[in-house]
Amino acid sequence: MKIMVILAHPNRRDSRANHILTTEISQESNIWIRDLYQEYPTWIIDVEKEQRLLLEYDRIVFQFPFYWYSCPPLLKKWFDDVFTFGWAFGPSGENLKGKEFLIATTTGGTENQYRSGGYNWFSISELLKPIQTTIMRCNGTFLPAFVTYNANKGSTEYLQKEAVRYKKHIYESREILIR
């Protein structure tokens, strides 16, 4: 399985958690990591290139910090620019059919803070529904998200264990992830 990780972190150099997660998967020969903020510093996205790349990979991972209950703005723009009518959805928009997508996100809050009645009122799964719906509307298969909670306060040992768990999650079969 060919896997592309689209990393979208506006301050990646300052993110210990995302650095450790990315380092763990970077040695894998069938995982290609792309940094949107590095690749598109002017925010002008090469739509044809991005669409061509999506066609080449079986599983696409969106890795980002959980930003105000969503993804960072460049990734949102990427969705808006790349998932176009007639290509990703609508008449003849079936290019993403059969593609597997998953989210890998980090958050400063604890798991207990992301639950019904918790500090953030909703679970991560509930808060990711707009991205899930976008992917499903584009005929993609949305797989369960990978979440590292308490990322900014976690010890290096904790984050390294999360990185191992992350790599396992990325490789896990669709059948195992959705049961």
SS (H, E, C) 41-60: CCCCCCHHHHHHHHHHCCEE
Q: What is the reported pTM?
A: 0.94
3-state secondary structure of 167: helix
Token pair of 99, please? 């593609």
The predicted pLDDT at position 82 comes to 98
Q: Would you list the domain boundaries of the chain? A: 3-178
**Of 27, 5, 131, 2, nearest in space to 70 by CA:** 131
Q: What whole-number distance in Å separates Cα of residue 54 and Cα of residue 82?
A: 10
Average pLDDT, the chain: 92
Look up the CATH architecture of domain 3-178.
Answer: 3-Layer(aba) Sandwich (3.40)
Angle CA(101)–CA(133)–CA(102) in degrees, nearest 5?
A: 20
- Tens of pLDDT along 56-102? 999 999 999 998 888 999 999 999 999 999 999 999 999 999 899 99
- Give the residue from 78, 79, 96, 75 showing the smallest Cα distance to 87: 96
- Say whether 18 sits in a helix, a strand or coil: helix
pLDDT score, position 43: 96
Q: Is the pLDDT of residue 48 over 80?
A: yes
Beta bridge pairs of residue 101 = 60, 142
Q: Which residue has the tokens 């958690």?
A: 17
The residues pairing with 5 across neighbouring beta strands, listed in sequence order, are 33, 61
